[in-house]
């Protein structure tokens, strides 16, 4: 029997909460790390890996797989969590986050199955994804390339060079997802360097844009199901999100961009995230 829309959304929402729980599991194992940007990205990662992307966890190098680049590499705890839940890696690796000699570090490393690129030096992922998408066209491969970019990361000028190139080459096989949580490492974007009007900036660079609530699973699914938004332009999903989403003490504050995750913090987070 095929899955109803309500069943689909419930399944993806549950998977997103599992990502958040596993983020805290990993960060406790590592002593701390990037809570805020991992939790803001969780719903989108769930919809990508458990609904939209064509991947084979048992064959991570499958040539026709869709590509995902986490440009905001500091959210690697969330990427590891989704890769574990999808079956790319042994979930036991969550307990080795940031440990010496572990492939699961503070930023993505291609030594871990399912990770396409080492990122976290910010401002590189969009250019890398643009190259992947252009390469797919040149080699007549049908896969789609997704890149998730942090909003604070958009202060890096290299993003805008890549945005120009992607639209110049009419890369309809490329989608950028902006995790627009309005907060960067050291404060609110409006107090640092403002980025509004975000969607208009992407349109001006030749992208086809859709704005969504990045925590409304129905909206996330609808946007991903509508790709590409235009037959000759790259697509941008401007996802309005809340930094630290799902854990009240971490929501909407730069103080939880990165912080210590003690046993007490872990217990408080699990109480809110519905640990079983
Ligand atoms: Mg941010």
> pLDDT digits over 140-171, tens only?
999 999 999 999 999 999 999 999 999 999 99
Mean pLDDT of 227-238: 98
Q: What tokens appear for 53 in the block?
A: 């992307």
Output the CA 181–ligand 1 centroid distance in Å. 5
What is the pLDDT at residue 276?
Answer: 54
Mean pLDDT of 102-125: 96
Identify the domain containing residue 230 by its residue range. Answer: 5-273
What is the pLDDT at residue 258?
Answer: 96
Looking at the structure of the chain, the number of domains it has is: 1
> pLDDT digits over 208-230, tens only?
999 999 999 999 999 999 999 99
Number of helices (H), then strands (E), belonging to the chain: the values are 8, 9
pLDDT, averaged across the chain: 97
> pLDDT digits over 8-42, tens only?
999 999 999 999 999 999 999 999 999 999 999 99
Mean pLDDT of 80-106: 97
Do the strands 187-188 and 183-184 form a parallel or antiparallel pair, or are they unpaired? antiparallel
Q: How confident is the model at residue 132 (pLDDT cuts 50, 70, 90)?
A: very high
Work out the angle at residue 89's Cα, subtended by the Cα atoms of residues 88 and 92, and round it to the nearest 5 degrees: 150
Output the CA 139–ligand 1 centroid distance in Å. 35
User: pLDDT above 70 covers what percent of the chain?
Assistant: 99
Output the CA 60–ligand 1 centroid distance in Å. 29
Output the CA 138–ligand 1 centroid distance in Å. 34
Output the CA 40–ligand 1 centroid distance in Å. 9
Output the CA 229–ligand 1 centroid distance in Å. 24
Do the strands 174-180 and 235-240 form a parallel or antiparallel pair, or are they unpaired? parallel
Q: What is the CATH number of the domain that holds 111?
A: 3.40.50.970
Alpha-carbon dihedral of residues 66, 70, 76, 82, nearest 10 degrees? -30
Q: How confident is the model at residue 89 (pLDDT cuts 50, 70, 90)?
A: very high
What is the pLDDT at residue 253?
Answer: 97
Mean pLDDT of 199-210: 98
Output the CA 249–ligand 1 centroid distance in Å. 17
Output the CA 129–ligand 1 centroid distance in Å. 20
258's CB contacts (< 8 A; 6+ apart) are 32, 33, 34, 35, 36, 74, 185
Output the CA 184–ligand 1 centroid distance in Å. 4
Output the CA 257–ligand 1 centroid distance in Å. 8
Output the CA 140–ligand 1 centroid distance in Å. 35
Output the CA 243–ligand 1 centroid distance in Å. 7
Output the CA 64–ligand 1 centroid distance in Å. 31
Q: Note whether 242 and 251 are within 8 A (CB).
A: yes
Output the CA 17–ligand 1 centroid distance in Å. 20
Indicate the length of the chain as a whole number. Answer: 276
Q: Which helix (H) or strand (E) holds 226?
A: none
pLDDT over 70 at 178, yes or no: yes
84's CB contacts (< 8 A; 6+ apart) are 22, 90, 91, 93, 94
Q: What tokens appear for 176 in the block?
A: 């950028």
Please tell me the distance from the alpha carbon of residue 135 to that of residue 119, in angstroms, as a whole number: 19
What is the pLDDT at residue 44?
Answer: 98
Please tell me the distance from the alpha carbon of residue 129 to that of residue 92, in angstroms, as a whole number: 29
């Amino acid at each position: 029997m095929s899955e109803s829309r309500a069943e689909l959304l419930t399944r993806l929402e549950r998977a997103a909460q599992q990502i958040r729980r596993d983020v805290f599991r990993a960060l406790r194992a590592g002593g701390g790390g990037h809570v805020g940007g991992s939790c803001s990205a969780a719903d989108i990662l769930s919809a990508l890996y458990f609904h939209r992307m064509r991947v084979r966890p048992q064959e991570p190098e499958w040539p026709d797989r869709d590509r995902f680049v986490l440009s905001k590499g500091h959210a690697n705890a969330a990427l590891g969590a989704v890769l574990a839940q999808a079956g790319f890696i042994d979930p036991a690796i969550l307990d080795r986050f940031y440990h010496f000699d572990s492939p699961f570090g503070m930023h993505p490393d291609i030594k871990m199955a399912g990770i396409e690129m080492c990122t976290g030096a910010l401002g590189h992922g969009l250019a890398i994804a643009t190259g992947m998408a252009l390469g797919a066209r040149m080699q007549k491969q049908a896969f789609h390339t997704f890149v998730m970019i942090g909003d604070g990361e958009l202060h890096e000028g290299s993003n805008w060079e890549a945005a120009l190139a992607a639209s110049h080459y009419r890369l309809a096989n490329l989608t950028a997802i902006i995790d627009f949580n309005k907060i960067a490492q050291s404060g609110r974007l409006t107090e640092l360097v403002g980025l509004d009007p975000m969607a208009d900036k992407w349109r001006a660079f030749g992208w086809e844009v859709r704005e969504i609530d990045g925590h409304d699973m129905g909206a996330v699914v609808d946007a991903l199901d509508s790709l590409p938004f235009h037959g000759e332009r790259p697509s941008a999903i401007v996802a309005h999100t809340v930094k630290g989403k799902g854990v009240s003490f971490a929501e909407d504050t730069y103080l939880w961009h990165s912080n210590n995750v003690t046993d007490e913090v872990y217990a408080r987070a699990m109480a809110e995230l519905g640990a079983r």
